[in-house]
Amino acid sequence: MLDVKHIREDFPILRRTVHGKPLVYLDNAATTQKPRQVIEALVGYYSRSNANIHRGIHALAEEATAAYEGARERTARFLHAPSERGIVFTRNATEAINLVAQSWGRANLKPGDEILLTEMEHHANLVPWQMVAKATGAQLAFIGISDDGRLKLEEYEQKLTRKTKLVAFTHMSNVLGTINPVADIAARARRMGALTLVDAAQSAPHLPLDVQALGCDVLVCSAHKMLGPTGVGVLYAKEELLERMDPFLGGGEMISDVWLTHATWNEIPWKFEAGTPNIADVIAFGVALDYLDRIGMPAIRAHERELTAYAMKRLQELKDITLYGPPAGEDRGGAISFNLEGLHPHDVGTALDHEGVAIRAGHHCAKPLMRRLGVAATARASVALYNTTEEIDRLIEAIDAARRFFQRSIKVAA
Protein backbone atom coordinates (compact mmCIF):
# COMPACT_ATOMS: atom_id res chain seq x y z
CA MET A 1 0.00 0.00 0.00
CA LEU A 2 1.32 3.42 -0.93
CA ASP A 3 1.35 6.15 1.66
CA VAL A 4 -0.31 8.54 -0.79
CA LYS A 5 -0.88 11.26 1.79
CA HIS A 6 2.84 11.34 2.47
CA ILE A 7 3.69 11.22 -1.25
CA ARG A 8 1.35 14.14 -1.99
CA GLU A 9 3.26 16.31 0.46
CA ASP A 10 6.26 16.04 -1.86
CA PHE A 11 4.36 17.66 -4.75
CA PRO A 12 3.97 21.40 -4.10
CA ILE A 13 1.65 21.93 -7.07
CA LEU A 14 -0.94 19.57 -5.60
CA ARG A 15 -1.58 22.14 -2.87
CA ARG A 16 -2.80 24.79 -5.30
CA THR A 17 -6.36 25.62 -6.24
CA VAL A 18 -7.81 26.10 -9.71
CA HIS A 19 -10.88 28.30 -10.13
CA GLY A 20 -11.15 28.37 -6.36
CA LYS A 21 -11.23 24.56 -5.98
CA PRO A 22 -8.44 22.22 -4.88
CA LEU A 23 -6.63 20.94 -7.97
CA VAL A 24 -7.41 17.37 -9.05
CA TYR A 25 -4.70 16.57 -11.55
CA LEU A 26 -5.75 13.72 -13.84
CA ASP A 27 -3.72 14.63 -16.94
CA ASN A 28 -0.73 12.48 -16.06
CA ALA A 29 -0.51 10.80 -19.46
CA ALA A 30 0.33 14.23 -20.90
CA THR A 31 2.91 15.02 -18.23
CA THR A 32 3.31 14.25 -14.54
CA GLN A 33 3.86 16.71 -11.70
CA LYS A 34 7.30 17.00 -10.08
CA PRO A 35 8.24 16.23 -6.50
CA ARG A 36 10.19 18.85 -4.54
CA GLN A 37 13.25 16.57 -4.68
CA VAL A 38 13.36 17.03 -8.49
CA ILE A 39 12.72 20.77 -8.27
CA GLU A 40 15.44 21.10 -5.61
CA ALA A 41 17.87 19.13 -7.77
CA LEU A 42 17.44 21.69 -10.54
CA VAL A 43 17.93 24.63 -8.20
CA GLY A 44 20.81 22.85 -6.46
CA TYR A 45 22.60 22.15 -9.73
CA TYR A 46 22.38 25.74 -10.94
CA SER A 47 23.24 27.11 -7.48
CA ARG A 48 26.27 24.91 -6.85
CA SER A 49 27.62 22.88 -9.76
CA ASN A 50 26.71 24.52 -13.05
CA ALA A 51 29.40 23.92 -15.69
CA ASN A 52 29.70 22.34 -19.11
CA ILE A 53 30.48 18.64 -18.95
CA HIS A 54 33.11 16.22 -20.28
CA ARG A 55 35.62 18.84 -21.44
CA GLY A 56 36.33 20.70 -18.23
CA ILE A 57 39.29 20.19 -15.96
CA HIS A 58 38.01 22.30 -13.09
CA ALA A 59 36.06 21.13 -10.06
CA LEU A 60 32.65 22.33 -11.20
CA ALA A 61 32.99 20.63 -14.58
CA GLU A 62 34.03 17.42 -12.88
CA GLU A 63 31.08 17.58 -10.49
CA ALA A 64 28.64 18.28 -13.31
CA THR A 65 30.09 15.48 -15.45
CA ALA A 66 29.92 12.99 -12.58
CA ALA A 67 26.29 13.94 -11.85
CA TYR A 68 25.29 13.75 -15.54
CA GLU A 69 26.98 10.39 -16.09
CA GLY A 70 25.59 9.24 -12.74
CA ALA A 71 22.09 9.89 -14.08
CA ARG A 72 22.92 7.70 -17.06
CA GLU A 73 23.91 4.84 -14.74
CA ARG A 74 20.74 5.49 -12.75
CA THR A 75 18.65 5.24 -15.91
CA ALA A 76 20.36 1.98 -16.92
CA ARG A 77 19.50 0.53 -13.48
CA PHE A 78 15.90 1.74 -13.71
CA LEU A 79 15.45 -0.02 -17.04
CA HIS A 80 17.61 -3.02 -16.04
CA ALA A 81 19.84 -2.33 -19.03
CA PRO A 82 23.08 -4.34 -19.06
CA SER A 83 25.18 -1.16 -18.97
CA GLU A 84 24.95 2.61 -19.25
CA ARG A 85 26.60 2.35 -22.69
CA GLY A 86 23.16 1.53 -24.07
CA ILE A 87 21.54 4.70 -22.69
CA VAL A 88 21.41 7.81 -24.93
CA PHE A 89 19.80 11.03 -23.70
CA THR A 90 17.67 12.90 -26.22
CA ARG A 91 15.16 15.76 -25.93
CA ASN A 92 12.13 13.49 -25.54
CA ALA A 93 10.74 10.10 -26.59
CA THR A 94 9.85 11.54 -29.98
CA GLU A 95 13.45 12.46 -30.71
CA ALA A 96 14.63 9.03 -29.57
CA ILE A 97 12.33 7.36 -32.13
CA ASN A 98 13.42 9.81 -34.83
CA LEU A 99 17.04 9.03 -34.02
CA VAL A 100 16.46 5.32 -34.68
CA ALA A 101 14.34 6.00 -37.76
CA GLN A 102 16.98 8.26 -39.30
CA SER A 103 20.16 6.50 -38.19
CA TRP A 104 19.13 2.86 -38.39
CA GLY A 105 16.20 3.14 -40.79
CA ARG A 106 17.85 5.05 -43.61
CA ALA A 107 20.89 2.78 -43.59
CA ASN A 108 19.09 -0.54 -43.28
CA LEU A 109 15.75 -0.29 -45.08
CA LYS A 110 15.14 -0.74 -48.80
CA PRO A 111 12.22 -1.36 -51.17
CA GLY A 112 10.56 -4.66 -50.30
CA ASP A 113 11.27 -4.32 -46.57
CA GLU A 114 8.45 -3.77 -44.09
CA ILE A 115 8.08 -1.83 -40.87
CA LEU A 116 5.30 -3.32 -38.77
CA LEU A 117 3.41 -0.85 -36.56
CA THR A 118 0.03 -0.93 -34.83
CA GLU A 119 -3.21 0.98 -35.16
CA MET A 120 -2.86 2.31 -31.61
CA GLU A 121 0.39 4.26 -32.07
CA HIS A 122 0.96 7.83 -30.98
CA HIS A 123 2.02 10.06 -33.88
CA ALA A 124 5.53 9.93 -32.40
CA ASN A 125 5.78 6.26 -33.35
CA LEU A 126 4.07 6.67 -36.69
CA VAL A 127 5.24 9.78 -38.50
CA PRO A 128 9.02 9.08 -38.19
CA TRP A 129 8.39 5.69 -39.87
CA GLN A 130 6.24 7.26 -42.58
CA MET A 131 9.15 9.62 -43.28
CA VAL A 132 11.74 6.87 -43.39
CA ALA A 133 9.50 4.63 -45.51
CA LYS A 134 9.18 7.46 -48.02
CA ALA A 135 12.94 7.98 -48.07
CA THR A 136 13.88 4.29 -48.43
CA GLY A 137 10.99 2.72 -50.35
CA ALA A 138 10.17 0.39 -47.44
CA GLN A 139 6.48 -0.34 -46.77
CA LEU A 140 4.47 0.19 -43.61
CA ALA A 141 2.18 -2.55 -42.29
CA PHE A 142 -0.18 -2.40 -39.30
CA ILE A 143 -1.49 -4.74 -36.64
CA GLY A 144 -5.16 -3.97 -36.07
CA ILE A 145 -7.00 -3.74 -32.78
CA SER A 146 -10.11 -5.47 -31.50
CA ASP A 147 -13.20 -3.55 -30.39
CA ASP A 148 -12.06 -3.76 -26.76
CA GLY A 149 -8.80 -2.05 -27.70
CA ARG A 150 -6.38 -4.97 -27.68
CA LEU A 151 -3.88 -5.83 -30.40
CA LYS A 152 -5.03 -8.61 -32.70
CA LEU A 153 -2.15 -10.96 -32.10
CA GLU A 154 -3.39 -13.43 -34.72
CA GLU A 155 -2.99 -10.61 -37.24
CA TYR A 156 0.54 -10.03 -35.95
CA GLU A 157 1.29 -13.68 -36.68
CA GLN A 158 0.13 -13.22 -40.29
CA LYS A 159 1.81 -9.88 -40.90
CA LEU A 160 5.17 -10.77 -39.38
CA THR A 161 7.16 -12.16 -42.30
CA ARG A 162 10.74 -12.33 -43.53
CA LYS A 163 10.11 -8.91 -45.10
CA THR A 164 9.57 -7.40 -41.63
CA LYS A 165 12.71 -5.60 -40.52
CA LEU A 166 11.30 -3.77 -37.52
CA VAL A 167 8.27 -4.10 -35.26
CA ALA A 168 7.67 -0.75 -33.50
CA PHE A 169 4.81 -0.56 -31.00
CA THR A 170 3.64 1.06 -27.84
CA HIS A 171 3.95 -0.69 -24.50
CA MET A 172 0.91 1.14 -23.13
CA SER A 173 -1.59 3.05 -25.25
CA ASN A 174 -1.97 6.69 -24.24
CA VAL A 175 -5.62 6.54 -25.34
CA LEU A 176 -6.88 3.04 -24.55
CA GLY A 177 -4.67 2.23 -21.58
CA THR A 178 -3.95 -1.17 -23.18
CA ILE A 179 -0.72 -2.81 -22.01
CA ASN A 180 0.71 -4.84 -24.86
CA PRO A 181 2.52 -8.18 -24.33
CA VAL A 182 5.99 -6.87 -25.18
CA ALA A 183 8.00 -10.01 -24.35
CA ASP A 184 5.77 -12.18 -26.56
CA ILE A 185 5.77 -9.68 -29.44
CA ALA A 186 9.56 -9.27 -29.21
CA ALA A 187 10.20 -13.02 -29.05
CA ARG A 188 8.17 -13.62 -32.20
CA ALA A 189 9.95 -10.76 -34.01
CA ARG A 190 13.33 -12.12 -32.98
CA ARG A 191 12.49 -15.56 -34.41
CA MET A 192 11.70 -13.82 -37.71
CA GLY A 193 14.94 -11.81 -37.62
CA ALA A 194 13.19 -8.45 -37.07
CA LEU A 195 14.19 -5.78 -34.55
CA THR A 196 11.71 -4.46 -31.97
CA LEU A 197 11.29 -0.89 -30.79
CA VAL A 198 9.09 -0.35 -27.73
CA ASP A 199 7.52 3.05 -27.10
CA ALA A 200 7.47 3.02 -23.29
CA ALA A 201 6.48 6.70 -22.94
CA GLN A 202 3.29 5.66 -21.12
CA SER A 203 4.47 2.53 -19.33
CA ALA A 204 7.79 3.69 -17.86
CA PRO A 205 6.13 5.90 -15.18
CA HIS A 206 3.72 3.17 -14.10
CA LEU A 207 5.22 -0.33 -14.41
CA PRO A 208 8.46 -2.07 -13.49
CA LEU A 209 10.52 -2.23 -16.71
CA ASP A 210 13.26 -4.70 -17.51
CA VAL A 211 14.54 -4.35 -21.05
CA GLN A 212 16.43 -7.64 -20.81
CA ALA A 213 13.35 -9.58 -19.67
CA LEU A 214 11.25 -7.84 -22.33
CA GLY A 215 13.82 -8.83 -24.97
CA CYS A 216 13.38 -5.68 -27.05
CA ASP A 217 16.19 -4.13 -29.11
CA VAL A 218 15.17 -0.52 -28.50
CA LEU A 219 13.01 1.17 -25.85
CA VAL A 220 12.24 4.86 -25.51
CA CYS A 221 10.64 6.99 -22.81
CA SER A 222 10.28 10.64 -21.72
CA ALA A 223 11.49 12.06 -18.38
CA HIS A 224 8.62 14.54 -18.07
CA LYS A 225 6.07 11.74 -17.84
CA MET A 226 8.16 10.09 -15.09
CA LEU A 227 8.14 12.90 -12.47
CA GLY A 228 11.22 14.38 -14.17
CA PRO A 229 11.73 17.66 -16.04
CA THR A 230 10.78 18.36 -19.65
CA GLY A 231 13.50 18.27 -22.27
CA VAL A 232 14.93 14.80 -21.58
CA GLY A 233 14.18 11.61 -23.48
CA VAL A 234 15.77 8.21 -23.10
CA LEU A 235 16.85 5.93 -25.88
CA TYR A 236 17.85 2.49 -24.69
CA ALA A 237 19.25 0.22 -27.40
CA LYS A 238 21.33 -2.93 -27.40
CA GLU A 239 24.97 -1.91 -27.50
CA GLU A 240 25.77 -3.87 -30.66
CA LEU A 241 22.92 -2.07 -32.44
CA LEU A 242 24.17 1.36 -31.32
CA GLU A 243 27.70 0.39 -32.39
CA ARG A 244 26.44 -0.42 -35.89
CA MET A 245 24.44 2.81 -36.23
CA ASP A 246 25.81 6.06 -37.62
CA PRO A 247 25.28 9.26 -35.60
CA PHE A 248 22.01 11.16 -35.92
CA LEU A 249 23.43 14.67 -35.40
CA GLY A 250 26.97 15.93 -35.98
CA GLY A 251 28.93 18.45 -33.91
CA GLY A 252 30.91 18.72 -30.72
CA GLU A 253 31.13 15.83 -28.24
CA MET A 254 30.08 13.12 -30.67
CA ILE A 255 33.47 12.92 -32.41
CA SER A 256 36.70 11.09 -31.78
CA ASP A 257 38.78 13.22 -34.17
CA VAL A 258 37.98 15.85 -36.80
CA TRP A 259 39.78 17.00 -39.92
CA LEU A 260 38.65 19.68 -42.34
CA THR A 261 37.02 17.15 -44.62
CA HIS A 262 35.95 14.31 -42.34
CA ALA A 263 35.62 13.03 -38.79
CA THR A 264 35.58 9.85 -36.75
CA TRP A 265 32.99 9.08 -34.11
CA ASN A 266 33.14 8.99 -30.34
CA GLU A 267 32.23 5.78 -28.53
CA ILE A 268 28.62 4.94 -27.65
CA PRO A 269 26.59 6.45 -26.14
CA TRP A 270 28.30 9.84 -26.68
CA LYS A 271 28.36 9.26 -30.45
CA PHE A 272 24.64 10.10 -30.32
CA GLU A 273 24.82 13.15 -28.07
CA ALA A 274 26.03 16.02 -30.22
CA GLY A 275 26.47 19.42 -28.58
CA THR A 276 25.87 20.47 -24.99
CA PRO A 277 23.19 18.24 -23.56
CA ASN A 278 20.39 19.14 -21.18
CA ILE A 279 22.67 18.71 -18.17
CA ALA A 280 20.53 20.04 -15.33
CA ASP A 281 17.37 18.27 -16.44
CA VAL A 282 19.16 14.94 -16.95
CA ILE A 283 20.57 15.21 -13.42
CA ALA A 284 17.13 16.03 -12.01
CA PHE A 285 15.70 13.11 -14.00
CA GLY A 286 18.10 10.83 -12.10
CA VAL A 287 16.55 12.17 -8.89
CA ALA A 288 13.06 11.43 -10.25
CA LEU A 289 14.12 7.83 -10.88
CA ASP A 290 15.47 7.62 -7.31
CA TYR A 291 12.09 8.84 -6.14
CA LEU A 292 10.14 6.28 -8.19
CA ASP A 293 12.41 3.44 -7.12
CA ARG A 294 12.31 4.42 -3.47
CA ILE A 295 8.52 4.07 -3.55
CA GLY A 296 8.85 1.00 -5.76
CA MET A 297 7.41 0.44 -9.21
CA PRO A 298 5.46 -2.70 -8.18
CA ALA A 299 3.76 -0.71 -5.39
CA ILE A 300 3.02 2.15 -7.81
CA ARG A 301 1.52 -0.28 -10.29
CA ALA A 302 -0.64 -1.90 -7.58
CA HIS A 303 -1.94 1.48 -6.39
CA GLU A 304 -2.71 2.71 -9.89
CA ARG A 305 -4.35 -0.56 -10.82
CA GLU A 306 -6.74 -0.24 -7.90
CA LEU A 307 -7.41 3.39 -8.72
CA THR A 308 -8.06 2.57 -12.37
CA ALA A 309 -10.51 -0.20 -11.43
CA TYR A 310 -12.31 2.19 -9.07
CA ALA A 311 -12.45 4.97 -11.68
CA MET A 312 -13.75 2.64 -14.37
CA LYS A 313 -16.42 1.24 -12.05
CA ARG A 314 -17.58 4.73 -11.10
CA LEU A 315 -17.51 5.94 -14.71
CA GLN A 316 -19.47 2.90 -15.88
CA GLU A 317 -22.24 3.80 -13.45
CA LEU A 318 -22.85 7.02 -15.36
CA LYS A 319 -25.57 6.94 -17.96
CA ASP A 320 -24.67 7.54 -21.61
CA ILE A 321 -20.95 7.00 -21.24
CA THR A 322 -18.72 5.17 -23.69
CA LEU A 323 -15.47 3.89 -22.25
CA TYR A 324 -12.65 2.91 -24.60
CA GLY A 325 -10.03 0.22 -24.16
CA PRO A 326 -9.94 -3.02 -22.19
CA PRO A 327 -11.68 -3.47 -18.83
CA ALA A 328 -9.60 -2.84 -15.70
CA GLY A 329 -7.15 -5.66 -15.15
CA GLU A 330 -3.71 -7.06 -15.79
CA ASP A 331 -3.35 -5.63 -19.30
CA ARG A 332 -4.63 -2.14 -18.56
CA GLY A 333 -3.01 1.02 -17.28
CA GLY A 334 -4.55 4.20 -15.93
CA ALA A 335 -5.22 6.20 -19.10
CA ILE A 336 -9.02 6.16 -19.32
CA SER A 337 -10.69 7.59 -22.41
CA PHE A 338 -14.41 8.20 -22.52
CA ASN A 339 -17.17 10.09 -24.28
CA LEU A 340 -20.51 11.25 -22.93
CA GLU A 341 -23.42 11.09 -25.31
CA GLY A 342 -24.34 14.48 -26.75
CA LEU A 343 -21.38 16.28 -25.19
CA HIS A 344 -18.24 17.29 -27.00
CA PRO A 345 -15.13 16.11 -25.12
CA HIS A 346 -13.71 19.63 -25.23
CA ASP A 347 -16.84 20.92 -23.46
CA VAL A 348 -16.44 18.16 -20.88
CA GLY A 349 -12.80 19.16 -20.36
CA THR A 350 -13.68 22.84 -19.98
CA ALA A 351 -16.54 22.11 -17.58
CA LEU A 352 -14.28 19.87 -15.47
CA ASP A 353 -11.62 22.55 -15.39
CA HIS A 354 -14.16 24.89 -13.76
CA GLU A 355 -14.44 22.32 -10.99
CA GLY A 356 -10.64 22.24 -10.60
CA VAL A 357 -10.35 18.85 -12.34
CA ALA A 358 -7.65 18.68 -15.02
CA ILE A 359 -8.17 16.09 -17.74
CA ARG A 360 -7.37 16.11 -21.46
CA ALA A 361 -9.69 16.18 -24.44
CA GLY A 362 -8.77 15.75 -28.07
CA HIS A 363 -7.21 13.24 -30.44
CA HIS A 364 -4.26 12.62 -28.08
CA CYS A 365 -1.82 12.59 -31.03
CA ALA A 366 -3.39 9.34 -32.21
CA LYS A 367 -5.56 10.40 -35.15
CA PRO A 368 -5.56 7.02 -36.93
CA LEU A 369 -6.73 5.41 -33.67
CA MET A 370 -9.52 8.01 -33.36
CA ARG A 371 -10.65 7.04 -36.88
CA ARG A 372 -10.57 3.37 -35.90
CA LEU A 373 -12.74 4.17 -32.87
CA GLY A 374 -15.07 6.22 -35.07
CA VAL A 375 -14.70 9.44 -33.06
CA ALA A 376 -12.97 12.78 -33.59
CA ALA A 377 -11.85 13.05 -29.99
CA THR A 378 -12.21 11.59 -26.50
CA ALA A 379 -11.98 12.93 -22.97
CA ARG A 380 -9.15 11.25 -21.05
CA ALA A 381 -8.48 11.02 -17.34
CA SER A 382 -5.12 9.48 -16.44
CA VAL A 383 -3.83 8.60 -12.99
CA ALA A 384 -0.44 8.66 -11.29
CA LEU A 385 0.98 7.51 -7.98
CA TYR A 386 -0.24 10.62 -6.10
CA ASN A 387 -3.91 10.33 -7.10
CA THR A 388 -6.57 9.16 -4.64
CA THR A 389 -10.04 7.60 -4.74
CA GLU A 390 -11.38 10.90 -3.34
CA GLU A 391 -10.05 12.60 -6.45
CA ILE A 392 -11.85 10.04 -8.62
CA ASP A 393 -15.02 10.92 -6.70
CA ARG A 394 -14.36 14.59 -7.50
CA LEU A 395 -14.00 13.64 -11.18
CA ILE A 396 -17.36 11.85 -11.14
CA GLU A 397 -19.07 14.74 -9.32
CA ALA A 398 -17.61 17.19 -11.85
CA ILE A 399 -18.82 15.05 -14.77
CA ASP A 400 -22.28 14.92 -13.18
CA ALA A 401 -22.28 18.69 -12.76
CA ALA A 402 -21.18 19.12 -16.40
CA ARG A 403 -23.96 16.84 -17.66
CA ARG A 404 -26.57 18.68 -15.62
CA PHE A 405 -25.29 22.04 -16.84
CA PHE A 406 -25.26 21.08 -20.51
CA GLN A 407 -28.64 19.31 -20.33
CA ARG A 408 -30.10 22.43 -18.81
CA SER A 409 -28.59 24.64 -21.49
CA ILE A 410 -29.82 22.29 -24.22
CA LYS A 411 -33.35 22.55 -22.76
CA VAL A 412 -33.11 26.33 -22.49
CA ALA A 413 -31.89 26.52 -26.08
CA ALA A 414 -34.75 24.25 -27.21
Which residues are known catalytic residues?
A: 365
Q: What is residue 215's DSSP assignment?
A: T
196 lines the binding site for ligand PMP (CB under 6 A): no
Interacting span for ligand PMP (CB under 6 A) from 52-60, 195-203, 210-218, 267-275: 195-203
170 binds ligand PMP (CB under 6 A): yes
Instruction: Work out the burial of residue 77: count CB atoms within 10 Å of its CB; fewer than 13 is exposed, 13-18 middle, 19 or more buried.
Output: middle
Residue 104 or 169: which CB sits closer to ligand PMP? 169
Shortest distance, position 224 Cβ to ligand PMP, whole Å: 6
Q: Kindly state whether residue 92 participates in binding ligand PMP, applying the rule CB under 6 A.
A: yes
CB of 222 to ligand PMP, least distance (A): 3
DSSP, res 380: E
Q: Comparing C-alpha atoms, which of 143, 156, 158 is closest to residue 184?
A: 156
* 124 contacts ligand PMP (rule: CB under 6 A): yes
Is residue 312 helix, strand or coil?
Answer: helix
Q: How many Å apart are CA 200 and CA 197, to the nearest integer?
A: 9
Residue placing its CB nearer to ligand PMP in the complex, 214 or 398? 214
304-363: contacts with ligand PMP (CB under 6 A): none
Instruction: Select from 122, 165, 305, 403 the one that contacts ligand PMP (CB under 6 A).
Output: 122
Q: Cα–Cα distance between 153 and 171 in angstroms, integer?
A: 14
Is the Cβ–Cβ distance between 218 and 237 less than 8 Å? yes
Residue 65 or 337 having the CB closest to ligand PMP: 337
The site for ligand PMP, by CB under 6 A, has a size of 14
Question: Could you tell me whether strands 263-265 and 21-22 are parallel, antiparallel, or unpaired per DSSP bridges?
Answer: unpaired
Q: Provide the pairing of β-strand 263-265 with 255-258.
A: antiparallel
What's phi and psi for 321, nearest 5 deg? -110, 140
Alpha-carbon span 377 to 68, nearest angstrom: 40
Q: How far is the CB of 69 from ligand PMP (least distance, A)?
A: 23
Distance in Å, CB of 306 to ligand PMP, minimum:
22
Q: In the complex, which residues of this chain contact ligand PMP (CB under 6 A)?
A: 92-94, 122, 124-125, 170, 174, 199, 201-202, 222, 233, 365
